[in-house]
């Protein structure tokens, strides 16, 4: 079996590569990345709190620990020639498409960021889709990582991807509305539309993972050796809220909450993200286009900050909660509800919950306080 993993150098991509390698030792895992995440975070005047090695060092150490079936190709998927040659050379059985510019703040900062995000994200996905049509195996499975952010903030329970629409007493099932709050989220909505069209026109088998906010510092594979670490960003642009709060508490920095902190958001641990993605390899699709809401729990932002502050205080942290004006355009209060029964069946194992995982995160960040302090201005 040949597996393509785009975005292998990323926060989620590298742990997924290791887990796939461990589970499917006789398979060939081809990781592709242009290493841009490292540049983007530097541009944000920050760095990964947990030091990471270059890809050559990572792979060399991985092989010594039995992860011998991973190879890496540096390349840009917005380059059609590169992408076509990739599918011409390897007859992939499954594609995990994680590569993207994933930051909403970065995309919303200015026209340059919005334009780059739109071109980068949508061009790469389109190039892959058309390369599959031209050179791909007939029954190739395409797993796309999207985001729960495409749903926006509706006033009803969010279904897993599709909704029944009724007009003049007639109904049909259609993809759920795209109501994301950033140009990054719009790119993911565009990807959905493009993939749904490819499914209808060419019968491309698609699984769209609407990924919640992923948090965590490690997985079973990354903690084997420091050379196998995955990155951990904590800056305003690329650090997700739980990761930022844990980094703040690690250095006694006040935990800054936007607005009133009454919003609820969907979350998933890095460990559960990886487990569910690995399970997709052997998953037998019920339909040629399926959507999963890849989330395990909904958390209120203020309550989450208070929990982290409480856990950190037991390790000597003196972080306090402070409220600041919300720089984002969103409802101050939204009681989010989200369907995830299908996803929990896919996960199979008991979810890892924030209350436990945040304790692990705070402890594991302790050795890297100096790095966090060096770039603390990037928090806000």
Distances, alpha carbon 196 to alpha carbons 113, 172, 215, 291, in Å: 26, 16, 29, 11
Token representation of residue 35:
């290493």
Q: Cα 146–130–27 angle (5° rounding)? A: 70
Active site residue 256: no
Q: Are 294 and 269 in contact (CB under 8 A)?
A: no
Q: Which candidate in 78, 125, 147, 296 is catalytic?
A: 147
CA atoms within 13 A on the CB side of 190: 17
Active site residue 283: no
Active site residue 23: no
Distances, alpha carbon 7 to alpha carbons 117, 201, 321, in Å: 15, 27, 35
Q: Which candidate in 184, 258, 368, 375 is catalytic?
A: 184
Q: Which candidate in 188, 264, 302, 352 is catalytic?
A: 188
- Count Cβ atoms below 10 Å from residue 299 Cβ, excluding itself: 22
CA atoms within 13 A on the CB side of 99: 29
CA dihedral 72, 74, 76, 77 (to 10 degrees): -10
Q: Catalytic positions, please?
A: 147, 184, 188
């Amino acid at each position: 079996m040949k597996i393509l993993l785009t975005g292998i150098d990323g926060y989620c991509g590298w742990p997924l590569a290791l887990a796939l390698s461990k589970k499917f030792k006789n398979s060939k895992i081809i990781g592709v990345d242009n290493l841009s995440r490292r540049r983007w975070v530097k541009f944000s005047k920050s760095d990964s709190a947990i030091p990471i090695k270059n890809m050559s060092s990572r792979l060399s150490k991985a092989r010594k620990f039995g992860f011998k079936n991973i190879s890496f190709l540096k390349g840009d998927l917005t380059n059609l020639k590169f992408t076509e040659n990739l599918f011409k050379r390897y007859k992939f059985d499954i594609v995990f498409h994680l590569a993207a510019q994933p930051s909403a703040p970065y995309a919303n900062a200015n026209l340059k960021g919005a334009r780059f995000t739109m071109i980068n994200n949508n061009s790469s996905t389109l190039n892959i889709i058309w390369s599959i049509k031209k050179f791909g195996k007939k029954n190739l499975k395409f797993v796309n990582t999207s985001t729960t952010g495409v749903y926006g903030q509706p006033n009803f329970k969010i279904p897993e991807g599709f909704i029944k629409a009724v007009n003049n007493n007639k109904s049909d099932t259609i993809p759920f509305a795209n109501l994301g709050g950033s140009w990054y989220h719009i790119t993911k909505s565009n990807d959905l539309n493009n993939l749904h069209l490819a499914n209808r026109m060419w019968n491309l088998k698609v699984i769209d993972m609407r990924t919640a906010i992923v948090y965590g510092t490690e997985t079973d594979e990354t903690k084997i050796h420091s050379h196998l670490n995955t990155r951990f960003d904590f800056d305003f642009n690329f650090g997700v809220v739980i990761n930022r709060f844990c980094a703040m508490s690690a250095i006694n920095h006040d935990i800054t909450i936007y607005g009133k902190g009454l919003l609820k958001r969907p979350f998933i641990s890095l460990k559960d993200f990886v487990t569910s993605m690995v399970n997709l390899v052997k998953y037998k699709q019920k339909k040629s286009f399926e959507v999963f809401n890849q989330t395990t729990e909904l958390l209120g932002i203020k309550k989450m900050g208070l929990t982290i502050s409480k856990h950190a205080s037991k390790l000597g942290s003196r972080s306090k909660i402070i409220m600041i004006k919300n720089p984002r355009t969103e409802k101050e209060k939204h009681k989010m509800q989200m369907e995830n029964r299908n996803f929990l069946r896919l996960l199979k194992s008991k979810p890892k919950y924030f209350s436990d995982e945040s304790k692990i995160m705070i402890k594991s960040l302790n050795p890297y306080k100096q790095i966090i302090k060096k770039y603390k201005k990037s928090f806000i």
